[in-house]
Amino acid sequence: MNPLQRRIAIIAGLLVFGFLAPALVAPWLAPYDPFGQNLGQALTPPGAVHWLGQDEQGADILSRLIYGARISLQVGLATVVVSAVVGVAVGLLAGYLGGWTEQVLMRVVDVLLAFPGLLLAIALAAVLGPGLGNVVLALSALGWTGFARLARAQVLALKSADYVLAAQALGAPHRRIMVRHVLPNMTAPLLVQASFAVAGAILAEASLSFLGLGVRPGTPSWGAMLSDAKHVLFEAPHVSVFPGVAIMLVVMGFNLLGDALGDVLDPRRRTGR
């Protein structure tokens, strides 16, 4: 990695760590109860007692941001895990088996990709109702297609490799070849895709929560905090600024992390190659 790539990787690591660490230790790190209300101090600006101020209900914004990071982390990781498992399985079967199996599976992927991702997630979330599990299901319904296309492309490039042909010549079953020889050699691009997918899932969850289709009302969520703050945008801008900045930094961090992983794991993108 050249010096610029190294700096970008460090920035990405700091941003992601600054998101993961508070999310994992939220019960011990949050200075106040995120559900606590104090209407007498509603919309109090940042100060020595409440560093980021208080919202319309008098709740501490910093505490709600920290607990909101847990919601974003759960949605991001769960969505990526579900999408990756389904997408990699579909792409692996389509790319390795080929023929009618590939045609059927990839036409399903093409049909789903014809729908705008966020609009489909909004429609599913509206049907399923608010809730963390429903948000993950709505985002995973289309999120797996990107993993499927990437996995298929990698399998098509790998299945003609010498070690795969040797395994086939020795009579190894298809399942063993796919799991033991093909899948481990395409983990690098999948990790890069996963990093970008986490950023997309966090942003999509914030969008759904902003529209009232995400987590249940009252749950600390960055998108819901933005939605609640839109009524007092000019009266108390700090209520909306801090959740917005948190979303921006986390999404930027995971995107930069994906770029850094691509530079490290892809030999063609390394300096001097």
Interval 151-182: pLDDT, tens: 999 999 998 889 899 998 989 998 999 999 99
Tell me whether residue 117 is in a domain. Answer: yes
Count of all residues that appear for the chain in the document: 273
146 contacts 195 by C-beta, under 8 angstroms:
no
**Residue 69's CATH number:** 1.10.3720.10
Tell me whether residue 50 is in a domain. Answer: no
> How many CA atoms lie within 13 Å of 163's alpha carbon, on the beta-carbon side?
11
Rounded to 10°, the helix 3-24/61-97 angle is 120
Tell me whether residue 71 is in a domain. Answer: yes
Domain that holds residue 165: 9-23+56-269
Q: What band does 270 get if pLDDT is binned at 50, 70 and 90? A: low
| Mean pLDDT across the chain | 91
Q: How many CB atoms lie within 10 A of CB 159?
A: 18
The average pLDDT across 210-215 equals 90
Tell me whether residue 108 is in a domain. Answer: yes
Tell me whether residue 222 is in a domain. Answer: yes
Tell me whether residue 79 is in a domain. Answer: yes
Q: What is the pLDDT of residues 71-125, one digit of tens each?
A: 999 999 999 999 999 999 999 999 999 899 999 999 999 999 988 888 899 999 9
Tell me whether residue 47 is in a domain. Answer: no
Tell me whether residue 1 is in a domain. Answer: no
The amino acid at residue 238 is: H
Domain count, the chain: 1
Q: What is the pLDDT of residues 2-60, one digit of tens each?
A: 788 888 889 999 999 999 999 999 999 999 999 988 888 999 999 999 999 999 999 99
182 contacts 159 by C-beta, under 8 angstroms:
yes
CA gap 101, 95 in Å, rounded = 9
> How many CA atoms lie within 13 Å of 181's alpha carbon, on the beta-carbon side?
20
Of the candidates 224, 226, 227, the one whose C-alpha atom is nearest the C-alpha of residue 242 is 226
The average pLDDT across 202-212 equals 94
pTM exceeds 0.85: yes
